[in-house]
Amino acid sequence: MEAEIAKQRLKGSMKAFQSHIDPEKEEQLKDIKIEIENKVKRILRLSKSINKGSRDGNLKRRSELIQLVDDFHKQYQSLYAMYENLRGEVKYNLCAKIGDDAASSSSSVSDSEAYHSPWQFAGEGSSYFSNTANPESANLDLDSLPDSPISSGQEPESRDFFKDNHSMTDKLISESAWLKEKVTEKEEELLSLNKKYEVHETERLPEIKRLEDQIAMMKLELETSSVQKKEFEEQIMCKSNEVKQLEKGNSGLQAHVQELEAAFQEKEDKFSNLLTRFEENQTNSKSRIDDLMARANCLQQELDALHTERNEQLKSLNNQTSELELSLEKATSVEKETLKDNEDLKVQVKDLKLEVDSLCSQKSDLEKQIGDINREAYHSQLEKEELTDEMKELETLLLEKKHELSTLQKKHEAYTNDMSNQNSSLAARINTLQQQLRTGESEKIQLQSQLEKEKHESSQSLAQMEKKNIELTTKITDQEKSLRENRDIINKLNEKHKQMKIRLEDSKSNLQNAERKIEEMTEELRKKFEDGLRILSRRIRVAEQMHLENKEWYQKTRDSYEKENNDLKEKNARLQVGIRGIKDITLTANDTLASLDTVALKFEECTAHFFNRISKVSCELKFVKDWVMRKNKAIVHVQDDLDCLLAQLDDKEAEILVYREKVWKSDNKVRELEKMIKEKDDGMLALKEEKREAIRQLCIWIDYHRSRSDYYQKSLSVFGSRRNL
């Protein structure tokens, strides 16, 4: 019974001891342990990363580290208080149990000598626990506890009980040792942290002082900023009023801008219509210019063809004229030769007639009177002088004719080659006649000498005169024979002259046919040129009309473009003035916004109470700023559109200038073509005049040759009539 009572008491004491360290408290202690470890880790991290960030971050880390150290110190104090409370409770419970056991075990003192009571173990465990927890506060002496005697019959049960208790105490001791180790570790960590904290505190004292100074300065700045905040609030109110006014002004400007946009759209529509018209007119003008260029090319080709035809016709005419001239020259040369032959024959006939007359007169005078010989000699001398004069004249004529023949021979070598045989025969005959003339002259000289001798020797011998008369009769017979031969030659030459007349008539008919052909060709060419000139004049008139129309249209478009350009420039100037005002407003707004942003930042740093209001105002100001920026962008877009329109106007003006230059070039080309046509017309007129002059000269030559041929015919007829007489 006593053993059971002892067991129950021991169990009660163990329960009482375990009540001090219940599982909930263990869980709380474990949670506190985990929390302390986390805080220690956090403190170490913060202590390592203090001087690695910005100033604000370092300040925040320092404040957090100080707060964690304070929390750790408080937890440490609370744990120490819990430890003291547990220790006091254990002492109190042990003392109470010891008093109860002393009262109950006073009867069994003898049994307690061989066995220690469980309370002794409990006291030992508690003292051990208290000593491990805080060795300085362990003032519980286990030897002073009374021993509880146990009888020998109860040893096995008590052994089991004590084994259980021993195992429990071992567990408790191991747990207490573990807790002690943890506490020592935590104390070491706390000491190291305290050292680090002291080091950091010593290092951070100047920084803390500086921060305190900064805090004082910030307090002053806060005071000044509070004053400035009030002023800025007033300014913000004023600015809000100004912003409202600006909004009103911007609304008016928006309306004005809308009006300008509407007007600008109208102008754009007008400009697009003008552009379409301009493009249509441009296409029409291009097509017209292309047609004109094609027509000009066709006309140029026609002119080239006409020029080629004219050149060919001129060549053919020149060839024909050259042939006709050659034929005329040949005919003239033949006529000249015949005339020369006739003249020579006439001279010879005249000489022969004179000689015959002189001989007859001499014969009659000799027969009648010898005294008249002197007169006859005188007359013969006179006739001789006349004959010499006539011979000189004939020689001069021969020289002139030789010159003419040389020139004609140079011009008409071909004809001379054809007539070389006839010329050679005629030249031989002329040579024979010249020899005969020379013999006649020599005979005349001899006769004159003889007459002189007879004058001197007239008185000497009449017989010689008779002989001479006989000789003269023989000579007269010979001369009559020569005259007969000359008559035959003259008849042959007359036949040749008739043939040449026939040839001249044929050449005249050929000339008339050629003149007719030339006139027909000239009329055809004149008609062709007149038709070409008419077509060219019509085309030039059409081109001039088109050019005048294009000039009028260009002047109208230029005037309209200049008016629109002036209007756009005025509107642009107005818009630029408005834009400058808006830019000034935006600049002032931007400056105020920048100042307000800086003030807002200061307010955010210093004051947190007015953050919402300032954020609202800043949002409103940002909205206003964005609205102003949008308006500026819209105005810039409008200005860019205006610049684009101005650039388009410049491009159109450049295109108009290009077209103007093209029109000028076309005008210059038309003028050059007109000049070329005029020059060609002048050349044609000059050629016509040259042809007329050539035809006139040919007609003059033909008339001259006709007159000469008529004269020769008349002279031959007169000579024949005289000869017949």
Give per-residue pLDDT as tens, 623-645: 766 777 777 777 777 777 777 77
What is the pLDDT at residue 567?
75
At which residue do the structure tokens 């042959």 appear?
492
Say whether 22 sits in a helix, a strand or coil.
Answer: coil
pLDDT at 661: 79
Worst-scoring range by mean pLDDT, 9-13, 27-31, 711-715?
9-13
* Residue 708: per-residue pLDDT: 81
Query: Torsion over CA of 130, 134, 140 and 141, rounded to 10 degrees?
Result: 100
d(CA 725, CA 722): 5
Better-predicted residue by pLDDT, 704 or 118 = 704
Between CA 503 and CA 331 the distance in angstroms is: 8
- Percent of the chain at pLDDT above 90? 0
**What's the Cα-to-Cα distance from 260 to each of 255, 256, 267, 712, rounded to whole Å?**
8, 6, 10, 108
Indicate yes or no: pTM above 0.95: no
Q: Which pLDDT score, from 0 to 100, does residue 6 have?
A: 47
> In the numeric block, which tokens belong to residue 375?
């007169």
Mean pLDDT along residues 324-339: 64
Could you report the per-residue pLDDT of 170-179, keeping only the tens digit for each?
Answer: 666 676 667 6
pLDDT of residue 313: 62
Which pLDDT score, from 0 to 100, does residue 143 have?
37
For the cut 80, the answer to whether the pLDDT of residue 701 exceeds it is yes
Q: Which residue has the higher pLDDT, 596 or 491?
A: 491
Comparing CA positions, the residue from 579, 586, 671 lying closest to residue 296 is 671
pLDDT confidence tier of residue 659, bands split at 50, 70 and 90: confident
Q: Out of 329-338, 351-360, 560-569, give the one with best mean pLDDT.
A: 560-569
H or E element in which residue 417 lies: helix 413-418
Q: Would the pLDDT of 40 be above 70?
A: yes
pLDDT confidence of residue 137: 39
pLDDT in tens, 576-626: 676 666 666 666 656 666 666 666 566 556 555 555 655 666 676 677 667
> Which residues, 6 or more positions from 332, have their beta carbon under 8 angstroms from its beta carbon?
408, 701, 705
Q: Please give the pLDDT value at position 86.
A: 73
Place of tokens 């002496």: 141
CB 43 within 8 A of CB 65: yes
For residues 568 and 349, give the distance between their C-alpha atoms in angstroms, rounded to a whole number: 112
**Least confident among 96-105, 388-397, 692-701:** 96-105
Q: Looking at residues 335-359, what average pLDDT do you find?
A: 63
Rg over CA atoms, the chain: 81
Query: 670-680: b or e for each residue (b if 16 or more CB lie within 10 Å)?
Result: beebeeebeee
Output the pLDDT for position 406: 61
Q: HSE on the CB side for 41, CA within 13 Å? A: 6
- pLDDT tens by residue, 440-482: 666 666 666 665 665 566 556 555 656 665 676 676 667 667 6
Give the model's confidence band at 248: pLDDT under 50 very low, under 70 low, under 90 confident, else very high: confident
Two tokens at 682?
């002048």
> What b/e sequence results for 572-585 when a residue is b if at least 16 CB atoms lie within 10 Å of its CB, and e otherwise?
beebeeebeebeeb
Lowest mean pLDDT among 8-17, 38-47, 458-467, 689-698: 8-17
pLDDT number for residue 249 = 65
Q: In this predicted structure, which of 57-61, 460-464, 553-557 has the lowest mean pLDDT?
A: 460-464
Residue 303's pLDDT is what? 62
Which residues are CB-neighbours of 193 under 8 A, at least 6 positions away?
40, 43, 69, 72
Dihedral through CA 126, CA 129, CA 133, CA 135, nearest 10?
70
Q: Rounded mean pLDDT of the chain?
A: 65
Grade residue 163 by pLDDT with cuts at 50, 70 and 90. Answer: low
Q: Can you spell out the DSSP letters for 600-628? A: HHHHHHH-STTHHHHHHHHHHHHHHHHHH
Q: If you average pLDDT over residues 253-262, what whole number do you get?
A: 66
> 107-133: per-residue pLDDT in tens?
444 343 333 333 343 343 434 334 433
Residue 353 pLDDT exceeds 80:
no
Q: The dihedral of CA 79, 193, 173, 23: what is its sign?
A: positive
Provide mean pLDDT across the span 265-276.
67
State which amino acid sits at residue 562.
Answer: E
Q: In the chain, pLDDT over 70 holds for what percent of residues? A: 33
Asked if residue 415 lies in contact with residue 326, where contact means CB atoms within 8 angstroms, the answer is yes
Question: How many helices and strands in the chain, by DSSP H and E?
Answer: 10, 0
CA pair distance 108, 587, nearest whole angstrom? 108
Q: How much is the pLDDT for 361?
A: 63
Q: Give the pLDDT score at 666.
A: 72
pLDDT of residue 583: 62
| DSSP characters over 334-400 | HHHHHHHHHHHHHHHHHHHHHHHHHHHHHHHHHHH-STHHHHHHHHHHHHHHHHHHHHHHHHHHHHH
Any idea which of 88-97, 154-163, 684-693 has the lowest mean pLDDT?
154-163
The least confident of 143-147, 200-204, 490-494, 716-720 is: 143-147
pLDDT for the residue 556: 76
- Listed in sequence order, the residues at least 6 apart from 686 whose beta carbon sits closer than 8 Å to its beta carbon are none
Q: How far is 471 from 465, CA to CA, in rounded Å?
A: 9
Predicted local distance difference test score (pLDDT) of residue 172: 60
Give the model's pLDDT for residue 118. 37
pLDDT score at 230: 72
Question: Are 444 and 384 a contacting pair, CB within 8 Å?
Answer: yes
Q: Six-digit token pair at 488? A: 């035959």
Cβ density class 18-54: b for 16+ within 10 Å, e for less: eeeeeeeeeeeeeeeeeebeebbeebeebbeebeeee
- Kindly report, residue by residue over 565-579, the tens digit of the pLDDT: 677 677 667 766 766
- pLDDT at residue 32 in the model: 75
